[in-house]
Structure 1
């Protein structure tokens, strides 16, 4: 099962201040079917959606695609963006906010893949989800 926001929503873009909120709404709807009782695993999926979308908007020229796919006991979150630069771990002052999104995605996901293409990249994170 895969869901693209273009099916019912305007495309997600950098200049839309609701991008992260809209992606989370799409993910909540997706998860409400797969894991209606929610739980920690569903919360982890929402957190990864938030971080990948936010990183694409802040650091990678905006979101060019977003998808969710259910697999056996997993959910894959994929975010496409306009940058060919792979994500990197930013070393920040621990007293300053931010800078932990990429590390958080890697900690929560069972697998993370980055595919770079001619017009940007896709970041996919596979998370466990019991359903």
Structure 2
């Protein structure tokens, strides 16, 4: 059974590699430790959301990781008001379009919240 305490980590990643490393450290400190497939899914979602925030959201972002008793929340805030959108994957052009559908498949819930101070927060909740 997962502990009832909540663990939170906040980082300002310069890139997706740093965000993945932060996520792995965060996950490594949880008790009980999440199963390896859960940890891999969290790291993948972190990588995708941070990459999108840096690419499309103004070049800076904040990553918040929160361990709830039954889920792990990945929340990425960026200064852009533009919401994520589904688009046809670029199978031959290399233009992307795969990330948001993947995040939505891996997470049991997602949310996009416009912030009163500007920008938005994209959150994904993965079953712990």
TM > 0.5: yes
Which structure 2 segments of 5+ residues have no match?
1-6
Q: 1:87 to 1:27 in 2, by over 3 A?
A: same
The residue correspondences of 1:1-131 to structure 2 (distance < 5 A) are: 1-5=7-11, 11-12=12-13, 16=14, 19-34=15-30, 36=33, 38-97=35-94, 98-118=96-116, 119-129=118-128
* CA deviation vs aligned residue, 1:16-56 (integer Å, no higher than 9, x gap): 4xx11111111000111226475111100000000000000
* CA deviation vs aligned residue, 1:42-75 (integer Å, no higher than 9, x gap): 1000000000000001111123311100011210
Which structure 1 segments of 5+ residues have no match?
6-10
Question: How far did residue 90 of structure 1 move?
Answer: 1.9
SS of the residue corresponding to residue 48 of structure 1 reads helix
Alignment root-mean-square deviation, CA = 1.6
2:4 aligns to what? none
Whether the 8 Å CA contact 1:63–1:79 is kept in 2: the answer is no
